[in-house]
């Protein structure tokens, strides 16, 4: 089946945002055995949307429209699609109730134009929206499947995953199964060299590698029949890759380093607390992004000022004066300090220079020290990172989660 | 003039990358008086590229193609465009020399297929590429301007800025200017109702609204002559919108709520500390994302456990037992506590249920209390949010930054 993704929104044509919805949907559809052949973007203009949608109908089996489902006058997707298909827009009672509920919950008054969002093309299947006011819908028209989804990614993604993917997968004749092998600590070139024969030799499954903010990801994709014949091709390939790359492989179920570290903490019932300087809470934010983490995560002290480091963590004034806030010694005392204060099994600390300012010749932007205090001692690691503030903070988090992961694996043995 | 951006590359249709080139070019063309009407993406497929390019020729004055200029077999943009326009590909000596130079500098040997990159459609203007091997070109065809640029952003951007923008600007008869008015605390429909007459009445400037993760953004676009006549239309419109929406307008220079709150803190030299539960450090992470914040940000206590709330913030055990960790009273004591501990001007706290678990009938997922302690007292706010864990945490941050912003504005008066 050929799919086309038609995004509606002048904000895309003005360059205010990139069309990440098309990227997201395109990355998922192959898992339903569907190939994407075209992306289009049009503004909030009925005539041009009519043209583009008609063209899509003439050349694609699956047409996914994103955006233009809001309550305002320039939200025209449902209206234009209905017109082209010659269908009436009919009011959906349940949607009205959910809209009223949505506004009641927020103590906000529902204006008349919100009602617009409760009208749908006759005979469509409505997709509920848990995260916003605009429901989506699926229309079957002469062998074509037309899907309407709202523009905000936080609304589109769950609707796509929970309703659209299963719906489309059930129609396809074959499946593509992908497994992501995620790797941290070695570069893409090194990974490719180690796997060259596998990457070249394979047709099913295929292996594609790409580098992604500090880690390397391998996508292993196998094609099999809907009835299941041809399955089981991926497992042996993953085992072979693990054998060659060892501990550098941190997940094969697409979970992140943070999720892997968190899972190990929960499995081993090891409690943890953090002391953050340059990451400024990002480490705690990423860890507490994971449901259930409260069972092992006690606290994080985001100690930006030296005073806070001394007061909250018991870092010694002399240490700060002699070695500076960004030093092996301070990182070590921060980790030991937060572990003592909170009484957790592990205490982890970060101190560094994220930039853009604050760098010197002997302590440049990108210099970061991170430490892990455990019952038998403390591990300190020096990182020399490059890039802008956001990249340095993100890479630091990856290194910290990897340090925790490797420590927990080592004591597991 | 109407522009269309046609990207060529299977990696876009696979969702490996987002079409950031289209976003970039779209954000720049209005400065040359050119409006973008369509984005298209096709794979490395001659037939489909032929279709899409022919369509673009039939409806757009300026067509910018990105990607598919490399040395390999599946780089087909120049070949297909030349074919559709009925022009021969001719060898450009200067390009050959520059290719040889490029490889000599890197001590790499030039393979035969690289020569492909020195062929161009007859009669075009060649755009040199300082950062890669693929030159671009500009073709004038019966009143249409066709621009070919390589896909890598690091090559495309300088070529676009140095050659394409000046070329196009010299052809356009007018310019477009846009200002973004960002709004928090009222819904999109409500905003539109308040501005209906302006939105309907206006032709220049025009007003477009859209909702974006909890906030509403208005884009005001004015068209003026190349010589400058017709400028100054946007200011009065922004003032009128401010008058109608008041404090709900938080920025007109496209800065975020976090940036606005941080800027106010720095301007007023008001120091701040945070006590976070359900946001788990996200609030601190967003604040410390802003360079220079260390001048006013002292610390954040991410107190996930009740014990940490008592130890670090002095929340009373009775309060936790009587009202629970997620309560007005606990939020209030957390804010007062962190302000006292850190000795900052402001103390801000957050406690809530981000989900997916942990909700009850009287305290459902999405219930959040946030408090701001200042020298004269404490403000507590109850939020009833919906969505997944990530959305609830992000919306909470917006509400907190808005609370800080409004407080600083009020004491400013």
Distance from CA of A403 to the nearest CA of B (A): 20
- Cis amide leading into B299 (omega within 30): no
Instruction: Say yes or no for a CB contact (<8 Å) between A152 and B213.
Output: yes
Q: Give the pLDDT of chain B (413 residues) as one tens digit per residue.
A: 899 999 999 889 989 889 999 999 999 998 888 999 999 999 989 999 999 999 999 999 999 999 999 887 778 999 999 999 999 999 999 999 998 888 887 777 787 778 889 999 999 999 999 878 899 999 999 999 999 999 988 889 989 999 999 899 888 777 778 889 999 999 888 998 999 898 887 788 888 887 877 899 998 988 888 777 777 889 999 999 999 999 999 999 989 999 999 999 999 999 999 999 999 999 999 999 998 898 999 999 999 889 999 999 999 999 999 999 999 999 999 999 999 999 999 999 999 999 888 899 999 999 999 999 999 999 999 999 988 898 999 999 999 999 999 999 998 65
* Chain A residues closer than 8 Å to B302 by CB: 274, 281, 284, 288, 299-302
Nearest Cα neighbor of B245 from B224, B215, B222, B265 is B215
Question: What is the Cα–Cα distance from A52 to A6, expressed in whole angstroms?
Answer: 8
- Which domains does chain B possess? 2-171 (3.40.980.10), 176-251 (3.30.70.2860), 257-410 (3.90.950.20)
Residue located via tokens 């706290």: B349
- Look at B40 and A38 and tell me if their CB atoms are within 8 Å: yes
Tokens of A117: 């969002």
Question: Which residues of chain A make contact with B22, given a CB cutoff of 8 A?
Answer: 15, 18-19, 41
Q: How far apart are CA A361 and CA B405, in angstroms?
A: 38
Contact criterion met (CB < 8 Å) for A285 and B280: yes
Chain A, residues 170-229, CB within 8 A of chain B, namely 210
Cβ within 8 Å, pair A285-B279: yes
The answer to whether residues A406 and A291 touch, using CB atoms and an 8 Å cutoff, is no
B284 lies within 8 A of chain A by CB: yes
Q: Is A154 on the interface with B (CB under 8 A)?
A: yes
Out of B219, B285, B356, name the one closest to residue A281 (CB): B285
* Helix (H), strand (E), coil (C) string for B282-347: HHHHHHCCCCCHHHCEEEEEEECCHHHHHHHHCCCHHHHHHHCCCCHHHHHHHHHHHHHHHCCCEE
Place of tokens 């002399």: A318
Tokens of B380: 């507590």
Residue A114, both tokens = 């919100």
- Name the residue among A96, A17, A98 with its Cα closest to residue B386: A98
Distance of CA A389 to the CA centre of its chain: 20
Chain B, window 1-30: residues with a beta carbon less than 8 angstroms from a chain A beta carbon: 7, 12-20, 22-28, 30
What is d(CA B183, CA A53) in angstroms, rounded to the nearest whole number? 32
Element (H, E) at B86: none
Interface contact B308-A342, CB threshold 8 A? yes
Residue-wise burial string across B225-256, b where 16 or more C-beta atoms lie within 10 A, e elsewhere: eeeeeeeebbeebbeebeeebeebbbbbeebb
- Of the candidates A27, A132, A298, the beta carbon closest to that of B15 is on A27
| A20–B28 C-beta distance less than 8 A | no
Q: Which phi and psi angles does A113 have, rounded to 5°? A: -65, -15
The DSSP result for A314-351, as a single string, is ---HHHHHHH-SSSHHHHHHHHHHHHHHHT-SEEEEEE
Q: How far apart are CA B233 and CA B230, in angstroms?
A: 7
Query: How do the pLDDT tens digits run along chain A, 413 residues long?
Result: 899 999 999 999 999 899 999 999 999 998 888 999 999 999 999 999 999 999 999 999 999 999 999 988 889 999 999 999 999 999 999 999 999 988 888 778 888 888 999 999 999 999 999 888 899 999 999 999 999 999 999 899 999 999 999 899 888 777 777 788 999 988 777 888 888 888 877 788 888 777 677 888 888 888 888 777 777 889 999 999 999 999 999 999 889 999 999 999 999 999 999 999 999 999 999 999 998 898 999 999 999 889 999 999 999 999 999 999 999 999 999 999 999 999 999 999 999 999 888 899 999 999 999 999 999 999 999 999 887 888 899 999 999 999 999 999 998 65
Q: Does A74 touch chain B (CB under 8 A)?
A: yes
**C-beta atoms of A285 and B281 within 8 A:** yes
Gap between the Cα atoms of B58 and A147, Å rounded: 28
* Residue-level length of chain B: 413
Contact A36 B26 (CB under 8 A): no
Scanning B99-138 for CB atoms below 8 A from A yields none
Integer CA distances (angstroms), B335 to B226, B343, B371, B377, in order: 54, 12, 6, 10
What is the Cα gyration radius of chain B? Answer: 28
User: CB pairs below 8 Å between A and B: how many?
Assistant: 271
């Amino acid at each position: 089946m050929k799919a086309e993704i038609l995004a509606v929104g002048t904000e895309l044509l003005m360059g205010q945002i990139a069309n990440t919805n098309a990227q997201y949907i395109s990355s998922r559809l192959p898992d339903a055995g569907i190939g994407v052949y075209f992306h289009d973007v049009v503004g909030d203009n009925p005539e041009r949307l009519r043209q583009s949608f008609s063209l899509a109908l003439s050349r694609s089996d699956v047409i996914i429209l994103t955006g233009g489902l809001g309550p305002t006058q320039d939200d025209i997707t449902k209206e234009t699609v209905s017109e082209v298909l010659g269908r009436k827009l009919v009011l959906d009672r349940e949607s009205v109730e959910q809209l009223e509920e949505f506004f009641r919950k927020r103590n906000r008054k529902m204006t008349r134009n919100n009602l617009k969002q409760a009208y749908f093309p006759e005979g469509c299947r409505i997709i509920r929206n848990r995260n916003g006011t605009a429901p989506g819908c699926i229309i079957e028209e002469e062998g074509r499947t037309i899907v309407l989804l709202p523009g905000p990614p936080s609304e589109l993604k769950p609707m796509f995953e929970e309703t659209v993917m299963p719906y489309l997968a059930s129609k396809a004749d074959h499946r593509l199964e992908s497994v992501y092998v995620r790797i941290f600590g070695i570069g893409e070139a090194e990974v490719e060299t180690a796997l060259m024969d596998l990457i070249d030799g394979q047709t099913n499954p295929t292996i594609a590698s790409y580098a992604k903010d500090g880690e390397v990801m391998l996508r292993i994709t196998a094609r099999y029949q809907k009835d299941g014949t041809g399955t089981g091709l991926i497992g042996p390939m993953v085992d072979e890759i693990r054998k060659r790359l060892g501990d550098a492989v941190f997940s094969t179920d697409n979970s992140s380093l943070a999720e892997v570290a968190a899972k190990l903490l929960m499995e081993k019932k090891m409690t943890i607390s953090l002391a953050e300087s340059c990451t400024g809470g990002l480490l705690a934010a990423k860890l507490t992004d994971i449901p259930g983490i409260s069972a092992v995560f006690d606290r994080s002290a985001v100690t930006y000022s030296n005073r806070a480091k001394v007061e909250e963590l018991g870092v010694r004034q002399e240490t700060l004066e002699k070695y500076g806030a960004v030093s092996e010694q301070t990182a070590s005392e921060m980790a030991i300090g937060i572990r003592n204060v909170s009484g957790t099994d592990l205490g982890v600390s970060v101190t560094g220079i994220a930039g853009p300012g604050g760098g010197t010749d002997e302590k440049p932007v990108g210099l970061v020290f991170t430490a892990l205090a455990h019952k038998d001692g403390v591990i300190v690691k020096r990182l020399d990172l490059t890039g802008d503030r956001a990249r340095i903070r993100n890479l630091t988090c990856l290194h910290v989660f990897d340090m925790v992961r490797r420590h927990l694996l080592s004591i597991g043995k």
